[in-house]
Structure 1
Amino acid sequence: MKIVAIDFADIDESCLIRLKKLGQVAIYPDLPKSEDELISRIGDADIILRGWTTITKRVIEKSKNLKMVSLWSTGYDKIDMDAARERGITVTNVPEYGSQSVAEHVFAFIFSLIKKIPQYSASVKNREWKRIQTTELKGKTLGIIGFGNIGSKVATIGKCFGMNILVYTRSPKKSNAKELDVTFVSLNVLLSNSDIITLHLPYTKETHGLLGAKEFSIMKKTAIVVNTSRGNVIDESALISALMSGTLAGAGLDVFEREPPSKDNPLLKLDNVILTPHSASYTKEAIGRCTTTAIDNIEKFLEGKPQNIIR
């Protein structure tokens, strides 16, 4: 049995020992520079552990011996699932590992934006002593788009700060509304009434460009948007226009349409934007959970009891 970790994935010594018990193991610590290099890395592997690389139909077709893909992630938008299904390749993911880390990251963005932390820090370092009037979270309205594990945790934290919570989701549950003290509303109602809007939904054909020029025009001019889900759920050009024109007050972005963003991306120069490199779930604790489950998935597959399969 040949197992290949095709790109960057944090595999500590204890996890490496587990993998080596399952077969011959090859680990690549960086991203392949091309699709051909990726195909070469996979070679005749039976199982691959994938961290960040896009797995196209061509890659799947060229990987003649491939039987399983263990994703080191929750999302599966970077693999051609139709091609995998056609080949009968089992694809698994890690359904839950970084919810707490991502929820905390959301509030790191929120506090940095509303409390003007970057501006204050730069001012003091420049030997200036300028105070900017900021605002409190208490009594503000937090709009959450998508209400899975992460969205629910964000709501819980928001309630601790005395925020009002509006939620837009395709499948609202009355039990969740009562338990978490949130209100389910339409997307337009959420957009027009929220002071802070945060996205927590997967990237699909339906969610592509969910927030665009029309949606930004509905929002309060004082609103801020936080995105830690997938870059393509927001029309980036429309977001840039809204930020530059004052239609939107600010944004905290961990994800982008193109990653990393091009050097001429206007987002890199806007003072009302805070950016991080798709790292919201990149904490020691979350990484440990993710790697453990990804290897659990491989073990269960080899036992004939596959788990966390993407259908």
Structure 2
Amino acid sequence: MKILFMLRDPFYEAYPTFIEAARELGEVETLYPDRGIEKAEIIKEIANTDILVVAKVKIDKEVIDAGARLKYIIKYGAGYDNIDIDYAYEKGIAVTNSPGQNAESVADNVFGLMLATSRNITKKDHEMKSNHWELSVGHEIYMKKIGIIGFGAIGKAVAKRAMGFSMEAIAYGHYLDPLAAKELNVRFVTLEELLTTSDYIIISTSLTEKNKGLINQNTIRLMKRSAYIINVSRGGLINEVDLMEALNQKQIKGAGLDVFSAEPPQNALPLLDNVVATPHIGGATYEALVRMADVTMTNIKRYLAGEELLYRVYPQEVRK
């Protein structure tokens, strides 16, 4: 049994015993996407792989077809848009993920981005390191309205933190949880109401073909000129050309972005003065990595024992 790991370098460094434990279950091979790997190398390694553990590398039809022995793909994280779920299902390959395991980490990062954009923290830090001392006036997040797009594990964790800042929380999403909303003092609204009334718009929903480019020229026009956009989900949810134009024209106040359509970004969006950008670090905490590793190891053991897998992912048609 061969297990192939394709994780980001810091994951290996932060939790080395994870790979050591995996070696007790079978042959282990590791690839390092952050150092740059060609698709040909992935195809070569996956040819004799039984279980694939992957973070961000794209697993498309070509890669899946190259895995003659491939029977199980584990997404090391929650979002699985980098995996062709439909084709894997068609080929009889099981797919699982680790939903909710990094929700607290991502929610922390939401508030880090909110505070950084509202108070110019990163800009002021850079100025201080350049021996420049200058006052700037920012905004409180206390008692502001926060609009959460996507009320899953991350959205709920954001709403819980918002209570500590006495924020008014509203949410929009296709999957509603009235009980959690009541406990967290969240009101469900239409997307239009959320966009027109929120001071902070938090994007924490999964990327699908239907919501790709959700934030665009038309939806940005609905927002307050004082609004901030915070995206911790997927870059594809925002039309980055439209957002850049809006930020340059001061149609909105600013943006805090942890994710981009292309990573690393291929445009000047992270360089704008009214943008605070981070390199997809939302779920990158020691605590979250341990939780995701625990789910991954549990599922590998379940697979080897022929037991039912946790957090099985199915195509949209099957989930209906």
Q: Secondary structure at the match of 2:290?
A: helix
Q: Which moved more, 1:204-213 or 1:128-137?
A: 128-137
Kept in 1: contact 2:77–2:292 (CA 8 A)? yes
Per-residue deviation, 1:173 = 3.3
Residue 6 of structure 1: aligned partner: 6
Amino acid at match of 1:17: E
CA distance in 1, matches of 2:72, 2:175: 31
1:121 alignment partner in structure 2: 125
- 2:174 matched to 1:158? no
Tell me which residue corresponds to 2:103. 99
CA contact (8 A) 2:77 2:102 kept: no
Equivalent residue number for residue 16 of structure 1: 19
Partner of 1:220: 224
Shift of 1:176: 2.5
> Gapped runs of 5+ residues in structure 2?
315-320
Instruction: State whether residues 140 and 163 of structure 1, in contact with CA within 8 Å, keep that contact through their aligned partners in structure 2.
Output: yes
- Quick check: 96-105 or 173-182, which moved more? 173-182
Which secondary structure state, in structure 2, belongs to the residue aligned with residue 287 of structure 1?
helix
Which of 288, 296, 299 is matched with 1:297 structurally? 299
User: Hey, what does 1:275 align to over in structure 2?
Assistant: 277
What is the distance in 1 between the residues matched to 2:250 and 2:49? 52
The question of 1:246 aligning with 2:258 is answered no
- 2:148 matches 1:140: no
Relative to structure 1, the CA distance from residue 46 to residue 174 in structure 2 (aligned partners, 3 Å threshold; closer, same or farther) is closer
Q: Which amino acid aligns with 1:300?
A: R
Change (3 A) 1:304 1:241: same
> Residue 165 and residue 63 in structure 1: after superposition, are their counterparts in 2 closer, same or farther (change >3 A)?
same
Give 1:13 shift. 4.2
The one-letter code matched in structure 2 to 1:137 is I
Given the alignment of the two structures, is residue 179 of structure 1 paired with residue 196 of structure 2, yes or no?
A: no
**Counterparts of 2:3 and 2:150, CA distance in 1:** 35
- Flag structure 1 segments of 5+ consecutive residues without an equivalent: none
- SS of residue in 2 equivalent to 1:211: coil
Judged with a 3 Å threshold, the aligned counterparts in structure 2 of structure 1 residues 51 and 127 are, in CA distance, closer, same or farther, namely: closer
Matched positions, count: 309
Q: Which amino acid aligns with 2:311?
A: N
* RMSD of Structure 2 on Structure 1 (CA): 1.5
SS in 1 for 2:99: coil
Matched with 1:63 is 67
* Alpha carbons 1:254, 1:276 under 8 Å: kept: yes
Q: Would the alpha carbon gap of residues 38 and 141 (structure 1) be closer, same or farther in structure 2, given more than 3 Å must change?
A: same
Distance 1:308 1:173 in 2: 19
Describe the superposition over 1:18-62 as per-residue Cα deviations: whole angstroms up to 9, x where unpaired: 312221111223455222111111121111111221011011112
Give the equivalent residue in structure 1 for 2:240. Answer: 236
Aligned twin of 2:318: none
Q: CA separation of 1:230/1:132 partners in 2, compared to 1, >3 Å: closer, same or farther?
A: same
Tell me: CA distance 1:28–1:103, structure 2 relative to 1, closer, same or farther (3 Å): same
Task: Give 3-state SS (helix, strand or coil) of 1:39's partner.
Answer: helix
Query: 1:16-35 to 2 correspondence within 5 Å?
Result: 16-31=19-34, 33-35=37-39
Q: SS state of the match for residue 270, structure 2?
A: helix
CA–CA distance in structure 2, aligned partners of residues 171 and 292 of structure 1: 27
Paired amino acid for 1:231: G
Residues 54 and 79, structure 1, Cα contact 8 Å, conserved in 2: yes
Q: Would you say the 8 A contact 2:103–2:157 is kept in 1?
A: yes
Answer yes or no: is the 8 Å Cα contact 2:100–2:154 preserved in 1: no
In 2, Cα distance between the equivalents of 1:255 and 1:309?
Answer: 25
Q: 1:73 to 1:171 in 2, by over 3 A?
A: closer
Question: Is the Cα–Cα contact under 8 Å of residues 4 and 26 in structure 1 kept in the other structure?
Answer: yes
1:301 maps to a residue whose letter is Y
Q: Distance in 2 between matches of 1:269 and 1:17?
A: 40
Deviation at 1:125, TM superposition (A): 3.5
Displacement over 6 Å in runs of 4+: none
Question: Identity rate of aligned residues, in percent?
Answer: 35
Displacement of 1:7: 4.3
The whole-number CA distance in structure 1 between the counterparts of 2:248 and 2:33 is 36
Structure 1 residues 152 and 44, CA, compared in 2 at 3 Å: closer, same or farther?
Answer: same
Q: 1:208 to 1:124 in 2, by over 3 A?
A: same
Distance (Å, rounded) in 2 between the aligned partners of 1:208 and 1:56: 19
Normalised TM-score (structure 1): 0.95
Deviations 1:149-173 (A, max 9, x none): 1101111111111111111111333
